[in-house]
Every structure is written in C-alpha cells, then in structure tokens.
Structure 1
Amino acid sequence: MTHSRFDVAILGSGIAGSVLGAILAKNGASVLLVDGGVHPRFAVGESTTLYTLNMFRVLAERYGVPELANFLTTDACYEHIGPTFGTKRNFGFMIHREGEEPDPREVNQFSPPSLKLQTSHLHRQDSDTYLFHTAIKYGCVARQGLRVTGVNLGDDEVEITGQGGERFTARYLVDASGFRSPLATQLGLRAEPSALKHHSRSLFTHMLDVRPTDECLDMPQSEMPPIPWEQGTMHHLIERGWFWIIPFNNDPRSKNPLVSVGLTFDERVYPKPSDMTPEEEFHHHVSRYPVLERIFADAKTVRPWVSTDRIQYTSTKTVGHRWCLMSHAAGFIDPLYSRGLTNTGEVINSLAWRLLEALQEDDFSQERFAYIDELQSGLIKYNDEMVNCSFISFSDYELWNAVCRVWAAAEIPINLRFERFLDRYQASGDDNVFREMEKAPYPGSFVPDNAAYQELFAEMVRLCEAVDRSERDATEAGRELMKLVQESEAVLPFIGLDERDHRFIYPQPPSLMKLFGWLGTEGPEEMRYLATLPGGGHFPPGAPR
C-alpha cells in the first residue's frame, strides 16, 4: 500500500486531464494523474475548429506551455507530434433521402478564414499520448491502469483509493474522466435525462478503404464546392441523424490510412435492434442511401465497433468544496459541431488560474469556482439547443439551411474575439485581460458578449421547437428564420451567410476587405472592437488576422 500527497489529483489523462495537469505542473503545483486505461488508446472527438485552436493558443501563451501551440497548424502537428493527422479545410454538410441521389442544391460547405491557424483531424492515439507525455515532462506523477474505487471528500483534503488499496491525498480533486465519472457516481450528480432536449445514440469505429465523397457523387462539376469535400469533416445528414467521415489519409504527408466513421441518430426514431451487430446495423442504414453505399462499398473495419445507448448526459452541479467535474465528466451532447475540445479548452482556461490561486491562498471554497459551474452549464445548454434544432431541421433543407447559418454566424466573431483579447495580453502581459474576457453576459454561448446573436439564437430555438411539436410547417419556419438571419446585426455581411442560395461559404480577400472595413467603422457598436488593433487603430483593408 502506498500513500502520497499532492496539490491536485486529476482523474483521467485524456486531453482534458493531461492539458490541465501540464498547466498546473508547469506553474508549480504537484499533480497526480490517475487513469484506469493506458496510452496510446482509441478515442473519438478528432475534428478541430478555429475556436479549438484559438483556445489552445491562449492556453499555450497564458500558462507557458508551448507544446500546445503545436496543434495550431497541420504543419506543426506533422513536425512535432506525428505523420498520422488529416487536414481539415472545411465543414461539409449534405442532405440525403432514402433511395435518392443527393440534390446538389441541398448541400453546404463552410470554411472559416484564418491566416495563422490550420484545423486538422487528430489521430487521438497520437495527440493524446503527446499531451500525456507533456504533462509528465512538466512534473505530473502518472498512474495508468489504476481504477479508482473510492473518493473521500474531507474538509481539509481529498483522498482517493485505487484497487489494491493504494491511497492518495490531495488538496483538490478534478474529475476529467468522462461519462463513468467516479465522483459523479459517488455523489449522485447525474441529472435526469429530461434535463436535456437532444436525443441521439451512436455507432463508430475506424475503417480502411473508405472512398472519398467527391468520387461517389453524381453531380456536375459546376455544383461542386471550391474545396473538395474530402478535404474536411464530412457530415452526411439523414432524418434525425448524421454520418461522419473524418479522414486521416487526406494529406499527402500522412502515413495513416485510417478514416474515422460513425453514425449518430435519434434513439427514439432508430431504437437499437436486438438482431443485428453494430456493424450490421451501420451497413443496414448505409444501404438506404446510394452515395453512402458507394462510399462504404469496399470499407474494412479495423477495430471493434462501439455501439452506445443515448449519449446525452449532464450534472446537477459541477463544483463543490475541493472538487470539480470537468468537461466530459460534467456532461456531453453530440459531436455534430466538433465542440468537445473547444468546450474543454474553455473550462481549462477558466479553471486553471482559479486553482493556482486557490493553492497559493489555501482557499478552496465553492464560491471561488462558481463561474466554472455557470460556464459548464451554459456550454451544455447552448450546445444542446443548437444540436437539437439541427436534428429537427435535417428533414427540410429550407429549415436546415437557415439553422446552419445561425451556427456559422458565430464562428468569425468568436475567433476574432479571442484574437483581440490575445493581442491585448501580448501587448501588456497582464493576466487581467483574460479575466476580463470572462465578464460576458452569456457564459457558454457561441458568442457570449453579443445580445443580437442571443436574440437570433432564441428565435431559432422557438421556431424549431414549434416544428417539432407540429405547430409550424418546417419549410415556412425555415423561410422565417432565414429572414431573421438576413436582418440580424449578429450576422456579418459580405461573406454570404445572409444569402439563401450561397451554399459554399469560403470568404476570399475581396469580401474580407469589405467585411473588415465595415466592421471597424459601420458595424454594430458592440462588435467594432473585433476589428481593432492593439494600438487602437483598425485593420487596413485586406489584412484580416
């Protein structure tokens, strides 16, 4: 039996636990990382966004962990982590109807602009191991293959017990383990399923010989997007569900032949069958859609399928005296918009400085960490409503086309917001810049400081839920929502989001010149700072960050 004492014990050494552990250890804390599994290991959640990368950029600079910056471009991933990642140049969405070829007028592609960042498809076996090793490099003590059998939350310390009777004490406990959180289980923190609106279950694995979507379409070249579908994360949308295709083999430098594939669909519409294996069920649904049937005609499974029940869960609270449930230990909705890593980064960014100060001041009161609970509650709420509206809209392109623009309307403002605050931090070196960033009126929202976006989002929820209750026609609701998109001050002009038939959003320098010129001088007052340089000037035309 061993007994060791640490400042912080973290349950789970995935991305959440390893990044937080590395940050805390780099900044002087003694950290224990406990995990029932062993790296390298399979994980999904492989698609990054510009928002994800901006979060990693902030964490790298704010907390002095430069290894996190190696995720900011595909080039850096290949140089520093490994040749197993895919490139991601777009979000691709395509509506499918049973027995029919997709209508080329019912597709959408979104490629948010950035000169500094390149999104990618993470091969999680390698990305997670890299981050785990980074945490150890900075001084974390790791115990892999250790199942936690008990947690004792005392007034002055926390004690965790592993199989075999090993005991460890810490001044604070962070549970970043996931759905089977030991702390959530012991304290009975899981909320009732009715607390969430969205419903889905999932089937997923990795495969070989998945044909690129572009090769399988019966569409004229004039209807194809500016970026090949296979150069991004592909979302094949069906009634109340979607197939994902995330290739790791779409970059010529990649030595990884695998493709992540999965199906996430409403368990109320598609109850789990008792007479099929997960693989049989997957191919059963694939066979209903001609393009998908061609994509997977020669595909070979390389690892056991995972078949889940309903994947949505949340918690009644996520912080207490000397403990925190973080990221996927706190809750989960759906991978539709690749927000898992982004949400994780947001929580780490707000938790780490509070925890470092708590260690210095020996004050672990629940009040100190109250914002973390509010933030995680908001992240779950807004993602739940966004994904629920999306699933409702998949059956009608007019509605989906408007819903996806509400989602996309947040992408440029939120990333500019991070860049402006980072500019201020780099100019001043003052950590209060990031603390001020938290003082937004809508924590967890896709654009937390924008009232106009909140109004548009609320109207989307109202219309989609009326459709779901059969109180509104989906097509008419879609037209009404599209009109609201066109009228909203939250939707930036000149890039096509406010144009119903502009299906491929791929902003180029001329439109960005117009956007930044307008944003700095004529845009809504609350958004003008997004085009402001550290010295107080505005970006010159054609020079977006």
Structure 2
Amino acid sequence: MLGGSLPAATLATVLAAGGARVTVIDAAQPPPFPPGEMGVHAAGLFRVLAERYKAPELARLATVKDIHTHVTRTVGAEHCHSFVYHREGRPQDPAELLQVCPPKGAPPEPHFHRPDIDAYLLRCARERGADVRRGGKVSGAAAGPDGAAVRLSDGTEVRARYLVDASGPDSPLVSALGLRQEPAPFATASRTLAAHMTGVRPFADAVADRAAAYRPALPWHRGSMHHLTDGAYLAVLPLGNHPDSTGGLFSVALTLDARRFPPREGPGRTPEEEFRAFVARFPTLVDQFAYAAAEGPWLATERNQYAASRTVGDRWCLIGDAAGYVDPFISRGLGLTLEAVNALARRLLDAVRDGDFSTERFAEVGELTRDQLAANDELAAMVHASLCDPALVRAVLFVLEAGFRFGGFPLLAAWSELRSTGGDAALRALETVPHRGHVFAGHEGYHRLFTAAGATCAAVAAGELDARTASERIFRSVREAEFVPAAFKLDDPAARSLRITPVTLLRLALWSVTGAPKDIAPLVRAGIKSVLKGG
C-alpha cells in the first residue's frame, strides 16, 4: 500500500485486523496541511469501520472525548456550523448569516488535527502488524495478472498480491500508468491557501461593538465558521474549543474561485501575503485575524481539482486523494474517502481468503469513487456559483441542510443493525444506492431538489438568471418538497438559525407516522430509534 496518511493508514489497520499481511510504504513526508479536518460524516464512518472490522481503536476517532483521552488534546468540538456573508469594504451585516445547530445534547462531531490523527492511525496499523516503511522514495510501480511490485529509489523491490495507492495527488501509480486526466473533468475550479494558526480572535470579539445585533443561538466559538463572499469562502475550524484543550490552534483555509482569482505567474506574493491581502478587504475579518499567526508552513494549490481516468485495474486500486480531488468545502471528501475504504476493505479481505483478485471483484469500488467525485463536484460547483449573493447562498444552504438532516440516517441504521445482529447487509446495500456520494444518497426526491438547485445556480453563473429570482425559486422548491417536514422549519428565508430541538424530534416522529412519504417514513423512524438507543 502506498501512502501513510488517513485513508492508507485506516485501510491498513482494518486489513491487518482481519488477518491480511500488509506493507505500507509512506513515500513522502505528509503535506503541511492535509485536506479534510472537519469530522462531520467521517466520525460515524470510524464507528462503522471499528465495529465491522473488529478494530476498536478506530472508534476512538468518533468523539471529541475519546480523541482527547486516547489520541491528542488538539481536537475541536463542532456544536454548530456558522455561515457568515461579507461584502468588501463593509462591516459584516448580521442579517446575512446563518447558524445551524444539531440537536441539543447531541455529542459534537470532532474537528481533526490531521497531523496527529494521521500519525495515530499509522501507529494503529503498525500495532496491528502492518509492515510500515517510512521515508522510502518510490521510483516505480507496476501491477498485472501475477501481482504488483513497487520499486524504491534505494533499489529495494516490494512485491504484493494487490497494490492500493492512497498516496495523494502525486501518486506513483497514476504516473506510472499515465492515468492523470488533463484537464480535470470537473465544473468546479478552485484553489486553496491554508495553514494552522494561533491568535485568531473570537468572532464575538470582532463584532463586540454591535453585540446586540447578533445574539447567536450558540456562541460562535463552539463550532466552525465559514466566512463567505463573492468568489471565495474562508473556513475557520477551532482545534481547541473544549474545556480540556491546551491550546488555541485553528485550521484556516481560504478557497478562491480559480477562474476569477488565478494564481500569480512567476515570483510574487507568498501564500500568507495573499491571505492577508484578502482579509484586508473585509473590516470584520481584519479584526478577527489582526493577531493571527501561522504555526508551520502554508499550503497553496494552483487548482484543487484533478482526477485519474481509471481508479481500478488488474491487481491495483486508487483511493482517497490518489484517485482525485474536488474541493475542501465542509471537508466533504474526507467522509467519502472513508466510504471507499469501507467498500474496498471487505473485498480485499475476501480476496485474501479465496485468492480471487480479479478486476471484476473491485469494479464496484471504482464506480463508487467515480460517483463520489462527480457528486462532490456538483455540490462544490453549486456552492461556488451561489457565492455571488447572500440570499442565494442561504437558499443553497437550506437545500444542503434538508439533505444533511436525513442523509446520516441510513448509515446510522446500518450501524445499529451491525451492532445488534452482526450482519452487514445494510452496509452492503448502501454501496449500491442511486446518487452515491450525495449528502442524501438514495433518495429520488432529494436528488431532484438538489439537481434543480444546482441548475438554477449554474444559470446565475452563466448570466442567464438574476440571483434574487434564483434564490426565490430554490426556497420555493424546498418549501414544496413533500419529503421536507414542517418540523425542519426550512420555510423562512430570513431565518438566522436552524436548530433541532427535542420538540423538533417529537414532531418529526409524529410526521413519520401520519404524513411522511412512504419512501422516507421507515428511514426516519429507524434513524430516530438509533439516536434514542445511543447511536
């Protein structure tokens, strides 16, 4: 296996736990800022992987408390998601923000400090018996009917029955097989400047002179903040916002529309200088980042998007960032990568047992990866197109919220079945549902809502529709969707907070019996049941 970061180390851990002999070649140093530090969706998948493959050490990454106790003190707690719109040269307008809060009392999802998390997972793989070789530079890789081979720069050759490349954008296998697609087959075109920073002021302090106009449902510092503006978004994730934290580290990532803000040719501003120049355009952000300083090097991409033409072949497979990448919005790619790990692991363990490593056995993993990348591209393209107008952004966030509120239920129900019966039939079924990779996979009604919203935003980006008309159209679609219950309160375009309360859950349970569509009522009931049982 090539790569030593989260996807490779997670897969190596579950394979070794299942009795497979695994060699991990970490050919390069990890990037200064690995993409994907928001643990929404990923945390639940770590629970599934731990239970399904009898690797309980992975479950330690599912909660803030367990990460703090067993892994690292540098972990963030996501009690809320805040989206704040900014206009150049003006203080932030409190009417142009939205805070989304999970159910009261629900444990927060973690924000991962990836250097610590990746190192922990690599230790887990080693402790399970994987042969972890770090620092070796890969000079060649090949695979065929008789197996796979990796050559290192010191002349060493490592042979295996199957090769998984999870190394990242500079994949040796992609290079050896000439798989990189040029140009990348995505509608999204973005680039990112990112670093871990200290000294980021609380947002509440930056708007303290107008505190009465804000009054969030939950304090801003209790979760992520996404600062949005025309052509860009800035994600700020606290990595120490819980009582037992020992530091004030933040994950900070500025993602720009690469077509409107292309990287400079030749020598020019450093990533930090470009970041500072961006922040200087927005008075409220100037206050928040006045004393912020990077801890370690900056990451700067020229374009985030890339892809391989194939991700599965004869005795080889690409997963994670080796297969392709779209955009860092809400770390969506991290959870999708773990879905691919989950699907690939069981097939590899079956292959180890029966000796059948045929390409056909792994074809579904390749199709899953293709669908995930396409879905993430649709989501990112819609978000970027909406950034031109705060009302349009809010409409898109309502569409996403409608999906997220349902989208986790299938995995939760499948995990509950796995724990109670030991059977993984429900998990296998999730690998083949329609519209894989979307925030609410498998549901036709949501897919139609999402697709229509994406087309509406694309029309705005093409100059064929004005943003206000587009936002009204999308809000109306959300209100009229029969699968969106009134209990969600997604019918008020002016709402500044969306919060799930115990009353919301009670009304949702009643709706699932009296008014929910037949294709969604059982899913809702199963999801609520799992939550009440401690899922």
Q: Fold match, TM over 0.5?
A: yes
Residues matched between the structures, number: 532
Q: CA 1:337–1:489 in structure 2 vs 1: closer, same or farther (change >3 Å)?
A: farther
Aligned equivalents of 1:140, 1:468: Cα separation in 2: 49
2:429 aligned residue (436, 449, 454): 436
Q: CA RMSD in A?
A: 2.1
Corresponding residue number in structure 2 for 1:321:
314
Matched, 1:31 2:22: yes
Counterpart of 2:408 (choices 415, 420, 445) is 415
Shift of 1:496: 2.1
Superposed CA offset, 1:118-170 (max 9, x none)? 21221122111111111111111000001111012121110100110011100
Aligned counterpart, 2:156? 166
1:410 counterpart SS class: helix
The reply on whether 1:204 has 2:194 as its aligned counterpart is yes
Please point out which of 127, 152, 162 is paired with 1:137.
Answer: 127
Q: How does 1:84-99 map onto structure 2 within 5 Å?
A: 84-99=74-89
Distance across 2 between alignment mates of 1:427 and 1:175: 34
Structure 1 stretch displaced more, 413-422 or 288-297: 413-422
Q: Structure 1 residue aligned with 2:225, among 234, 241, 248?
A: 234
Deviation at 1:72, TM superposition (A): 1.8
Give 1:541 shift: 12
* Mapped contact 2:51–2:418 kept (Cα < 8 A): no
Quick check: 1:202–1:264 contact (8 Å CA) kept in 2? yes
**In 2, Cα distance between equivalents of 1:114 and 1:136:** 39
Aligned positions of 1:246-395 closer than 5 A: 246-273=237-264, 274-395=267-388
SS at 1:94's partner residue? strand
Amino acid at match of 2:405: I
Q: How far apart, CA to CA, are the structure 1 residues paired with 2:105 and 2:339? A: 22
Q: Distance in 1 between matches of 2:526 and 2:277?
A: 54
Match of 2:399 among 403, 406, 410: 406
- Shift in Å at residue 425 of structure 1? 2.1
* TM-score normalised according to structure 1 size: 0.93
Partners of 1:282 and 1:97 lie apart in 2 by 16
Residue 154 (structure 1) aligned with residue 154 (structure 2): no
Residue 114 of structure 1 and its aligned partner are, at CA, apart by 7.8
Superposition deviation, residue 391 in structure 1 = 1.0
Asked if the contact 2:184/2:307 (under 8 Å) is kept, the reply is: no
Distance 1:211 1:68 in 2: 33
Is the alpha carbon distance of 1:72 and 1:221 closer, same or farther for their aligned partners in structure 2, counting shifts above 3 Å?
A: farther
Alignment match, 1:46: 37
Please say if residues 514 and 541 of structure 1, whose CA atoms lie closer than 8 Å, have aligned partners that are also in contact.
no
The answer to whether the Cα contact below 8 Å between 2:35 and 2:328 also exists between their aligned partners in 1 is no
**1:225 corresponds to 2:225:** no
Quote the offset at 1:69 in angstroms.
1.0
Q: Which residue of 2 aligns with 1:102?
A: 92
Segments of structure 1 that go 5 or more residues without pairing to the other structure are 1-9
- Per the alignment, residue 479 of structure 1 pairs with 472
Contact 1:450–1:490 (CA under 8 A) maintained in structure 2? no
Whether contact under 8 Å (2:84, 2:227) holds in the other structure is yes
TM-score of the two chains, using structure 2 as the length reference:
0.95
3-state secondary structure, aligned to 2:520: helix
Candidates 185, 196, 206, aligned match of 1:216: 206
* Further displaced range: 461-470 or 40-49: 40-49
Is the partner of 2:204 in helix, strand or coil? helix
3-state secondary structure, aligned to 1:143: strand
Change in CA separation of 1:190 and 1:114 when aligned onto 2, cut-off 3 Å: farther
Amino acid at match of 1:82: T
Residue 114 of structure 2 is aligned to residue 124 of structure 1: yes
Residue 5 of structure 1 corresponds to: none
Measure, in 1, the Cα distance between the counterparts of 2:166 and 2:297. 25
Distance 1:374 1:147 in 2: 30
Q: Is the 8 A contact 1:200 1:334 kept in 2?
A: yes
Whole-angstrom distance in 1 between the partners of 2:253 and 2:424 = 41
Find the aligned partners of 1:475 and 1:20 in 2 and give their Cα distance.
Answer: 46
Q: Which residue does the alignment assign to 1:468? A: 461
Match of 1:13 among 4, 12, 18: 4
Mapped contact 2:483–2:516 kept (Cα < 8 A): no
Q: Distance in 2 between matches of 1:149 and 1:315?
A: 19
Picking from 154, 168, 184, the partner of 1:178 is: 168
Residue 522 of structure 2 is matched in structure 1 by 529
Q: Which amino acid aligns with 2:320?
A: S
Give the secondary structure class of the aligned counterpart of 2:348: helix
For structure 2, list consecutive stretches of 5 or more residues without a partner in the other structure.
none
More displaced, 438-447 or 205-214?
Answer: 438-447
What secondary structure does 1:317 align onto? coil
Q: Which of 406-415 and 59-68 deviates more?
A: 406-415
Single out whichever of 91-100 and 216-225 deviates more from structure 2.
Answer: 216-225
Q: CA deviation at 1:39?
A: 7.5
- For 1:354 and 1:376, the matched residues in 2 are separated by 15
Please give the per-residue CA displacement for 1:278-304, whole angstroms capped at 9, x wherever unaligned.
211111111000011011111122222
Quick check: 2:33–2:196 contact (8 Å CA) kept in 1?
no
Q: Deviations over 1:91-110 (max 9, x none)?
A: 21111110011111110111
Greater than 4 Å deviation, 4+ residue runs: 38-42, 114-117, 538-545
Q: Is the 8 A contact 1:38 1:145 kept in 2?
A: yes
Q: Indicate yes or no: 2:101 matched with 1:111.
A: yes
